[in-house]
Amino acid sequence: MANVLWLQGGACSGNTMSFLNAEEPTVIELVTDFGVNILWHPSVGLEIGEQVTDLMNDLIKGKKQLDIFVFEGSIVQGPNNTGTMNYFCDRPMKDWVKELAAVAAYTVAIGDCATWGGIPAVPPNPSESTGMQFHKQKLGGFLGANYKSKGGLPVINIPGCPAHPDWITQILVAISTGRIKDVLIDEYHRPKTFFTDFVQTGCPNVNNFAQKIDGHFGKRGGCLFYEVGCRGPMTRASCNRILWNRQSSKTRVNHPCLGCTEPGFPHHDLVKGSVFKSLKYLGFLPQDVPTGEGRLKYYIRAGWEKILPTNKALKETSK
C-alpha cells in the first residue's frame, strides 16, 4: 500500500494522458489490485478547493504519510524566482514542491519538463522553468544536487515527452510492493531497466541504417537518420521493444525519433535547420553520431558502408 500525490506544474498533462492509456496494469488495476492509493491527482482527484490545501498540509505536517510524490511539468520559477507564474492553492507551486519533497519517501519526476525542464525551459525560457533535480544535462535543478527523499534516493527521473505508461506504472508498483531496491538508476537518475537500450534497438529500419539506405517522408522503407534527423541511435529508451499504445512507435511509422528521453530535448533548441532535418558538417557528414561511437570512427565505418554496393533485397518494400 502506498499513498501517492500527483501534482502538475508547468505541464501539458501529456504524461497523465499517457498514464491513462496504461495496460497491464491499467490505472484502475493499479488502485484496486496493486495497493496504489492515489490521494489526489489534478485530472481524476475528487477533492476541490480547500480540501486539496488541507490534504497537502496534512502530508507536510506528517499527519498523513506521503509514500510517493509524483510531479509532472516544469518547476516554474518566474518571474524573478518568485514562482508566481504558477500559483496552486494560493501559493507558488514551487513552494509546495519543496515542502512535499522534504517529507516524501520517494519523489518521482515524470516527463521531460519535470526531469530537466523540457520545452518550457528552451531559451528564452519565459517562465524561468527548470527540472526537479536537473536543468537540461546539469545536475541540480530546483531541488539541488544533494536532494534525497526519505527513502534515500534522489529524484527518480522518468523522462519522455510523454513518458510511456509502462515506465510510470512499473515504478509506482515497484515502490508500492517493496521492490524499489531492484530499480537501478543511471547518471541522469533514469531507471536503467527502461533506459539502457537505444530507441534503435528493435527499429525495423536498422538494416537500412547499417547499409546507409535513406528513408523519406511518405515513403516505405529506409532509415531516417541521414536526412530527417532521427535520433534513435543517440537515445536511450525502450520505445521499440515495448511499443506505444500497444501498436507502434515513432520510427515504425516513418517518424524520426526526437530524442525525448535524453536531457536537452528539444535538441539544438529548435534553431533554424534543426527540425526534421539532420544537421551536417560540410554538407554531408552527420553532426550527431551514434552514442558511444567517436565521430571519426563513425565516419570511417559509415563511409565504408556508403561506398560498398547496397544489398538490393533490403530496398524492397510492399504496401
* Numbered residues of the known binding site for [3Fe-4S] cluster: 239, 257, 260
Q: Chain-centre distance of CA 252, in angstroms? A: 19
Q: Which stretch binds another protein (CB under 8 A): 71-79, 146-154, 174-182, 291-299?
A: 71-79
Q: Which of 76, 100, 180, 203 binds another protein (CB under 8 A)?
A: 76
From residue 221 to residue 260, the character string flagging contacts with another protein as x (rule: CB under 8 A) and all else as - is ------------------x----xxxxxxxxxxxx--x-x
Q: Residue 156 pairs with which residues in a beta bridge?
A: 108
**Which three three-digit cell numbers place residue 30?**
493499479
**89 is a site residue for another protein (CB under 8 A):** yes
Q: Which of 14, 159, 191, 263 binds another protein (CB under 8 A)?
A: 14
**Which three three-digit cell numbers place residue 136?**
537540461
Show the beta-strand stretches assigned E in 91-217. 91-92, 106-110, 129-130, 134-135, 138-139, 156-158
Minimal distance in Å, beta carbon 99 to another protein?
Answer: 16
Torsion angles phi and psi, residue 192, rounded to 5: -60, -30
Cα 156 to Cα 191: distance, rounded to the nearest angstrom: 7
Using CB under 8 A, which residues numbered 51 to 70 contact another protein? 51-53
Q: Which stretch binds another protein (CB under 8 A): 98-106, 196-204, 271-279, 306-314?
A: 271-279
Q: Which of 85, 102, 183, 185 binds another protein (CB under 8 A)?
A: 85
Torsion angles phi and psi, residue 142, rounded to 5: -75, -45
Using CB under 8 A, which residues numbered 22 to 51 contact another protein? 23, 26-28, 31-32, 42-51
**261 is a site residue for another protein (CB under 8 A):** no
Cα 249 to Cα 205: distance, rounded to the nearest angstrom: 12
Q: Beta strand pairing status for 106-110 and 68-72?
A: parallel
Binding site, annotated residues for [4Fe-4S] cluster: 12, 113, 161, 203, 223, 230
**Which three three-digit cell numbers place residue 90?**
494560493
- Residue 313's H or E segment, with its range, is helix 312-315
Minimal distance in Å, beta carbon 50 to another protein?
Answer: 7
Residues in contact with another protein, total (CB under 8 A)? 91
From residue 280 to residue 319, the character string flagging contacts with another protein as x (rule: CB under 8 A) and all else as - is xx-----x------------------------------xx
Residue 154 or 221 with smaller CB distance to another protein: 221
Q: How would you label 126-147 residue by residue, b for 16+ Cβ within 10 Å and e otherwise? A: ebbbbbbbbbbeebebbbeeeb
Minimal distance in Å, beta carbon 77 to another protein?
Answer: 12
Using CB under 8 A, which residues numbered 111 to 170 contact another protein? 118-120, 122-127, 129, 161-162
Q: Chain-centre distance of CA 22, in angstroms? A: 16
